[in-house]
Amino acid sequence: MDQTLHPTILAIESSCDETSASVIRSGKVLNNVIASQEVHHKHGGVVPELASRAHQQNILRVVNDAMIQSGIKKGELNAVAFTRGPGLMGSLLVGVSFAKGMALALDIPIIEVNHMEAHVLAHFIGEPKPKFPFLCLTVSGGHTQIVLVKSFLEMKVIGQTQDDAVGEAFDKAAKMMGLPYPGGPLIDHYAKLGNANAYKFSPTVMPRLDFSFSGIKTAFLYFLRDRKKEDENFVDKNLNDICASLQRHLVQMLLHKLKMAASQTGITQIAIAGGVAANSGLRSALAEAAAELNWNIFIPEFQYCTDNAAMIAIAAHFKFLEGKFCGLDIAPVPNLGIGD
């Protein structure tokens, strides 16, 4: 087998609070081992110092599990890939250092991967695959972007949040209601049981294709405060309706700009990626828009929406084919942008 066209790569993801490793051969993802860090739940958010320590504790086991499960010997690897950024510095350092150590020991090259580009490229793990050019709405705990994807390695952010990410808005709103971290999936869960028209929130106006989620966060805080003055058990009594209404509002904000981007670019291949792409309200709103506007839509499998090393592996595969390796002096970049 020609290794330049059919590489075997180990990929490591450690940008936030999941330690993950994946092995890919000839562009086919063989596995996706993920160790989530429970330690943050009681703190109501990711504590960077605790995250890097947990990565340090988990990484050897996670990489070992991925190698054993894949049935591939370390000597068969052609490269080691890792997330260079964006992410938490301490967390990134663990993955970058581990990848360098392994590559040095095995005398193979390393490949740096941009976490946000990898979220987009997660669409090439399974079927159906989008055709270029396509638009990808990347929505996570740290980012909200509309990306114009021209090829595997050429992407441009055409709209993004100017403050909080939509995942952060979900998580902070959940926290205000007394729900544990991460609150996004819980809001999704309760929203399925509620009436999305029960409460209305004012729209946020933003220019161009940009987003802002800090206004709805404050509006939601005041909404809860005012309702709780009337009835201190307001949240408990109306949790499903509150979650359904808030989720609908956030999803509509996303869809509004996504529709604008599609109409401005004339592109009808529309993908979503990132942790919030797991949201059932977003998935069904996207399906409705697709029916209305003749879009071809792409939603990654659930395990490839939230942070995972399989997406780092597929991104590394395309970089390997283009010979895009990096030197052992490379350092993580916490605010690495698409195209940097």
Report whether 17 contacts 92 (CB < 8 A).
no
Q: Cα angle at 123 between 297 and 287, to 5 degrees?
A: 20
Partner from Zn ion, ligand KG4, none contacting 297, C-beta within 5 to 8 A by type: none
CB of 131 to Zn ion, least distance (A): 24
Partner from Zn ion, ligand KG4, none contacting 194, C-beta within 5 to 8 A by type: none
Report whether 310 contacts 124 (CB < 8 A).
no
Contacts to Zn ion from residues 299-318, by CB under 5 A: 307
CB of 87 to ligand KG4, least distance (A): 8
The count of residues in the chain is 340
Nearer to ligand KG4 (CB atom), residue 141 or residue 332: 141
Nearer to ligand KG4 (CB atom), residue 48 or residue 133: 48
- How far is Cα 74 from Cα 13, in angstroms, rounded to an integer? 18
Q: Which two tokens stand for residue 96?
A: 């970058």
Nearer to ligand KG4 (CB atom), residue 226 or residue 288: 288
Nearer to ligand KG4 (CB atom), residue 182 or residue 215: 182
Partner from ligand KG4, Zn ion, none contacting 7, C-beta within 5 to 8 A by type: none
Cα 284 to Cα 151, 204, 288, distances in angstroms: 27, 22, 6
Partner from ligand KG4, Zn ion, none contacting 278, C-beta within 5 to 8 A by type: ligand KG4
CB of 278 to ligand KG4, least distance (A): 4
For residue 14, state whether it binds Zn ion (rule: CB under 5 A).
no
Cα 304 to Cα 224, 307, 313, 332, 333, distances in angstroms: 34, 7, 11, 23, 23
**E-assigned strands of 4-101?**
8-13, 18-25, 28-29, 33-36, 79-85
CB of 46 to ligand KG4, least distance (A): 9
Partner from Zn ion, ligand KG4, none contacting 185, C-beta within 5 to 8 A by type: ligand KG4
Nearer to ligand KG4 (CB atom), residue 112 or residue 168: 168
Partner from ligand KG4, Zn ion, none contacting 188, C-beta within 5 to 8 A by type: ligand KG4
- How far is Cα 173 from Cα 167, in angstroms, rounded to an integer? 10
Nearest residue (beta carbon) to ligand KG4:
275
Partner from ligand KG4, Zn ion, none contacting 90, C-beta within 5 to 8 A by type: none
Contacts to Zn ion from residues 98-157, by CB under 5 A: 140
Helix (H) or strand (E) holding 135: strand 134-139
Contact positions toward ligand KG4, by CB under 6 A?
A: 16, 140-142, 167, 170-171, 182, 184-185, 188, 274-276, 278-279, 306-307
Alpha-helical segments (H) within 107-198:
115-121, 166-176, 184-191
Nearer to ligand KG4 (CB atom), residue 212 or residue 279: 279
DSSP state of 204: P
Report whether 237 contacts 281 (CB < 8 A).
no
Nearer to ligand KG4 (CB atom), residue 7 or residue 142: 142
Nearer to ligand KG4 (CB atom), residue 88 or residue 297: 88
Q: What is the dihedral of CA 130, 269, 146, 86, to 10 degrees?
A: 0
Q: Report the candidate in 113, 116, 159 with the shortest Cα–Cα distance to residue 141.
A: 116
- How far is Cα 222 from Cα 251, in angstroms, rounded to an integer? 20
Which residues would be at the binding site for Zn ion (CB under 5 A)? 140, 307
